[in-house]
């Protein structure tokens, strides 16, 4: 699906996840500065990596997080964050390359995926984006990680954005596929033109009980459809899909995914303990940490155009367009470009 962007004089309504935020753009395109490649990675063949090794488990706040780890224990830390409906195998090629370059690489299953579990049987299975971000900060605390480069796409990019905005001292630098993805319930309630609403069909599906039951019954078929529409030129095979699809068997998966999309539309309540943080996010704060944003030239998922968000990155910043039919799952489809961006932005911080 194409990017949908609707200009109104000098203001743009830009799709950023489910949020529509108005950003005042100046005459320039942002604080653009190229990041030079200090370490040139060896060639990475997409799809060569099939395993991330044994999964570790750690209690972090209100959840037990499953994560893969590779690289030297004393290396600069990189945390790789996956999206929906994907899992940590999006980074099966990226992680070994970063580890070989001397980085300690942490790849957590977000809440509702893989072996990550809510500790309380009665706790709200919340998919509220700030709660997902708080999980990652709690993971860093549990692993005694003071600061890290955060890199992700989809839910993972949104999570990295929120951490960079609310806890910039924990984010050394950032790689964000599809740019600035911070939203709010108020923005999510704003109606869009029909072409834009069409791109979010699954969001409205999840707003119904039929949609919840349908997703629960057809998790794999649903995910495969999203993979195909979000990355129309990615010829993934059955084994690649199956490795990630196993993560959707998490008993909390459906509840958390459905809550996430209902919360964005204002149809589900969030947790009161995050109200103050949500108020800050609703102002669409600038991100000050060094950042590289990326976009594939064949991303079929809803995503904003780079000129709509460049001004939100007020530190050192660069946008990279990755060509060659690259879709929404950029780190798995173009691991060389993604890993290089992580190295380049980390070296600058």
Q: What angle do CA 111, 114, 117 make, to 5 degrees?
A: 45
pLDDT for the residue 31: 56
The average pLDDT across 205-209 equals 97
| Residue 26 pLDDT exceeds 80 | no
* Three-state DSSP class for residue 123: coil
Q: How many CB atoms lie within 10 A of CB 272?
A: 8
Tokens 């990550």, residue?
A: 116
- Give me the pLDDT at residue 188, please: 83
Residue 189 has pLDDT above 90, yes or no: no
Residue tagged 């050192």 (tokens): 316
Reported confidence tier of residue 32, pLDDT bands at 50, 70, 90: low
pTM: 0.91
The beta strand positions in the chain, using DSSP E, are 5-8, 11-16, 19-24, 56-60, 63-70, 77-81, 104-108, 117-118, 148-152, 171-177, 291-296, 317-322
pLDDT of residue 35: 87
Mean pLDDT calculated for residue range 159-184: 97
Say if CB 349 and CB 173 are below 8 A apart.
yes
CA–CA gap between residue 161 and residue 177 (Å, rounded): 10
Angle ∠(174,176,180) on CA atoms, nearest 5: 110
Nearest to 337 by CA among 79, 3, 16, 93: 93
Bridge partners, residue 12, by sequence: 7, 23
- pLDDT band at residue 190 using 50, 70 and 90 as cut-offs: confident
Compute the distance between CA of residue 82 and CA of residue 157 in angstroms, rounded to an integer: 8
Q: Looking at the chain, how many residues does it have? A: 349
Q: Give the chain's radius of gyration (CA, Å).
A: 18
Which tokens hold the place of 73? 């224990």
Indicate if the pLDDT at residue 17 is higher than 50. Answer: no
pLDDT of residue 106: 98
67 or 2: which leads in pLDDT: 67
DSSP conformation class of 163: H
């Amino acid at each position: 699906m194409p990017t949908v962007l609707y200009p109104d004089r000098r203001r743009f309504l830009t799709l950023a996840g489910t949020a529509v935020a108005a950003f005042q753009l100046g005459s320039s395109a942002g604080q653009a500065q190229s990041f030079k490649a200090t370490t040139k990675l060896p060639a990475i063949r997409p799809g060569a990596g099939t395993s991330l090794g044994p999964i570790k488990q750690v209690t972090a706040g209100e959840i037990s997080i499953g994560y893969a780890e590779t690289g030297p224990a004393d290396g600069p830390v990189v945390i790789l964050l996956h999206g929906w409906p994907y899992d940590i195998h999006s980074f099966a090629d990226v992680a070994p390359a970063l580890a070989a370059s001397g980085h300690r690489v942490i790849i957590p299953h977000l809440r509702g995926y893989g072996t990550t579990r809510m500790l309380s049987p009665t706790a709200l299975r919340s998919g509220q984006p700030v709660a997902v971000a708080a999980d990652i900060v709690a993971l860093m605390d549990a692993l005694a990680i003071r600061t890290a480069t955060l890199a992700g796409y989809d839910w993972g990019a949104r999570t990295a954005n929120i951490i960079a905005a609310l806890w910039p001292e924990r984010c050394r630098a950032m790689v964000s596929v599809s740019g600035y993805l911070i939203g709010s319930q108020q923005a999510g309630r704003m109606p869009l033109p029909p072409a834009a609403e069409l791109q979010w069909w699954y969001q409205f599906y999840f707003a119904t009980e039929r949609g919840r039951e349908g997703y629960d019954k057809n998790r794999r078929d649903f995910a495969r459809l999203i993979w195909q529409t979000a990355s129309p030129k990615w010829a993934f095979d059955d084994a690649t899909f199956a490795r990630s699809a196993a993560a959707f068997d998490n008993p909390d998966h459906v509840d958390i995914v459905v809550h996430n999309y209902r919360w964005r539309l204002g149809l589900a309540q969030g947790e009161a303990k995050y109200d103050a943080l949500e108020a800050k996010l609703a102002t669409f704060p600038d991100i000050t940490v060094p950042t590289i944003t990326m976009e594939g030239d064949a991303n079929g998922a809803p995503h904003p155009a780079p000129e709509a968000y460049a001004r939100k990155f007020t530190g050192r910043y660069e946008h990279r367009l990755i060509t060659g039919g690259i879709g929404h799952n950029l780190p798995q489809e173009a691991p060389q470009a993604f890993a290089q961006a992580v190295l380049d932005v980390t070296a600058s911080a």
